[in-house]
Amino acid sequence: MSYVHDTIVQLQKSSPAQTEFYQAAEEVLDSLRPLLELNPRYHQHKIIERIVEPERQILFRVCWVDDRGEVQVNKGYRIQFNSALGPYKGGLRFHRSVNASVIKFLGFEQIFKNALTGLPIGGGKGGSNFDPKGKSDAEIMRFCQAFMTELHRHIGPTTDVPAGDIGVGGREIGYLYGQYKRLTTRHEGVLTGKGLDWGGSLGRKEATGYGAVYFAQNMLKSLGEDIDGKTCLVSGAGNVAIYTIEKLYQLGGLPITCSDSQGAVYHPQGINLDTLKLIKETRRSSLREYVEHHPEATYVDVESYPEDGHAVWRYKAHLAFPSATQNELTEADALALLGNGVFCISEGSNMASTASAVDQILQAGIAYGPGKAANAGGVATSQLEMAQNSSMQQWTIEKVDKKLMSIMHDIHHRCASTAEEFDQPHNLVLGANIAGFRKVADAMIDQGVY
């Protein structure tokens, strides 16, 4: 295990103060020990040393003018981490928490997530510490135009294809794409998550949430269980959470929680999907409004959360779907879930659980789908959008959803069969990390030193 310690120490020197990135790297490297012991060639080719360093890191200034006529300055990032399997692919995140550490952890995870899909895409990530909340449409448009003015020279349909992430939805993708066209005079599949009238794919908005549920469905099937009749806990109130909730209802589940940055809703009769979409997709406002429509529900302000975790994880249920952000599920939350009867966790957000939470979950032996596997439906459907753009077609929602179901089944199979190969049949963390790493590492060896 010294290679893990040595690698993290080296990263701390070469990439100081990037704790989220160290956490992601350590989690992956810890899982690789059985593979590396059997395959010394990965050490011989210095794959570990190479794979933890991005191929390219692009940092830039974003200057824009707000509605008061004042100049604002933000930081922009695009980390092109690994292109061994195909063009860089990964979302853009606009959120005040964005920094180099967050973008690098997301980009590193994206390498293995994309490899697990079986599709020809490499790993990358980008974004800015710009926060769209509280900004006018005109301000968001001006920021997106300024951001793309720099980014456009680094991306392309066979080079790097960004998508959306937290803070980057259809509105932002539209403004970004419009500026890309203005600068390049090209209409091409350089972004995914586009509008349906100008190159987008049916099912893309729903894909991450639907995919996380399909992954849970596969885990449950292996246990002789299904989603029908199960009570479910969901965090978040963005795209991933909304469409996780929608798919759970379609499969007979009962989602009873959701949350945003200000608080959480507990509705034992079931989250009302229409109300949630009205508040978050139409009004873009706080979940506080939810209880005005449903007084029988309970709203828990973030200041009233348990000191050691998140309110949504403290209710009795069968299934849990973390769908908000990284490290949202703490060790205390994991113990609460286990104590309240949860036997399956499928992560819709990236690195949703802290390292100590993952330890508790794996020790308990319950079904656990790590984010790089369980939430890969979003990037998989982005690649399907790329395929439609390349052929100048638009597929039906039925075709897209059928392909998504098949991809999530295949991801689960890859993770489960790899975990079984290494005599840890219930450890999908190990299975996902080894399966994803092995595919990328083998491609890197085939392509020589670059």
Predicted local confidence at residue 2, as pLDDT: 80
Which domains can be identified in the chain, with CATH numbers? 2-187 (3.40.50.10860), 205-369 (3.40.50.720)
d(CA 386, CA 373): 20
Q: What is the DSSP secondary-structure string of 38-106?
A: H-THHHHTTHHHHHTS-SEEEEEEEEEE-TTS-EEEEEEEEEEEE-SSSSEEEEEEE-TT--HHHHHHH
Structure tokens at 303: 């200041």
- The answer to whether residue 125 is catalytic is yes
The answer, yes or no, to whether residue 163 has pLDDT greater than 60, is yes
Q: Which of 318, 431, 312 is nearest to 370 (CA)?
A: 431
Q: Across-strand partners of 78?
A: 58, 126
Check pLDDT > 90 for residue 326: yes
* Token code pair at residue 268: 């034992």
Q: What are the pLDDT digits (tens) for 104-127? A: 999 999 999 999 999 999 999 999
> Can you tell me which residue has the tokens 């990236």?
350
- Structure confidence at residue 52 as a pLDDT band (50, 70, 90): very high
What pLDDT, in 10s, does the model give residues 81-103? Answer: 999 999 999 999 999 999 999 99
3-state SS record for 294-321: CCCCEEEEHHHCCCCCCHHHHCCCCEEE
Confidence of residue 450 (pLDDT cuts 50, 70, 90): confident
How would you classify residue 134: left for phi > 0, otherwise alpha for psi between -120 and 50, otherwise beta? left
Structure confidence at residue 395 (pLDDT): 98
Provide the 3-class DSSP secondary structure of residue 329.
strand
Give the C-alpha separation, 403 to 430, whole Å.
25
- The residues pairing with 255 across neighbouring beta strands, listed in sequence order, are 232
Average per-residue pLDDT for the chain: 97
pLDDT tens-digit map of 336-379 = 999 999 999 999 999 999 999 999 999 999 999 999 999 999 99
- What's the helix, strand, coil split of the chain in %, to 5? 50, 15, 35
Q: Out of 104, 125, 205, 230, pick the active-site residue.
A: 125
Amino acid 1: pLDDT: 55
pLDDT at 3: 85
Q: Which residue has the tokens 């996380």?
A: 212
174 CB-near residues (< 8 Å, 6+ apart): 194, 195
Tell me what percent of the residues of the chain surpass a pLDDT of 70: 100
* Sign of the C-alpha dihedral computed for residues 439, 441, 447 and 450 taken in this order: positive
Asked if the model's pLDDT at residue 333 lies above 70, the reply is yes
